Structures are given as structure tokens and as C-alpha cells.
Amino acid sequence: MKRNLQNLKRSLGVVAAVGVLSIQQAYAAVPAEATAALDTAGTDVGAIGWAVFAVLIAAMAFKYMRRAL
């Protein structure tokens, strides 16, 4: 019984692997404007993230200094 379950698991794993490997991904041509817009958006998100991080650090430092006094 245990061996049958192991064989079943193995065969299902093989079937799943073959199914995943047989799927072909389609790559569409992305316009240059879209790529440039995504790059710009990524830069903007990075700048906003660093600004938020700086505000959090400043708030923590202010809280730490108030506690020390």
C-alpha cells in the first residue's frame, strides 16, 4: 500500500513536471515607450522609498533623543 502511494506520487510528479516543461512562454514585443516608462517609474519608486526611510529614521532619532533627556 505504501509503495503504491509512493509510485502514485512519483508518477504525478513526473506528469506535473512534463506539463510545466511543455508549456511554452510567449514573449510579445514591448514598445520602447513602455520600457522607458517602467524604468522611470522604478526610479521614482526608489526615490520615494528612500525619502520615507529617511523620515522614519529621523522620527526614531527624535524619539530616542527625547527619551534621553
Whether 58 has a pLDDT exceeding 90, the answer reads yes
* Residue 32 CA from chain centroid, whole number: 23
The pLDDT confidence band at residue 16, using thresholds 50, 70 and 90, is: low
Model pLDDT, residue 68:
81
Please give the Cα distance from 26 to 20 (Å, whole number): 14
- Higher pLDDT: 1 or 24? It is 1
Percent of the chain whose predicted confidence (pLDDT) is above 90: 29
Mean pLDDT of the 34-41 span:
88
3-state secondary structure string across the chain = CHHHHHHHHHHHHHHHHHHHHHCCCCCCCCCHHHHHHHHHHHHHHHHHHHHHHHHHHHHHHHHHHHHHC
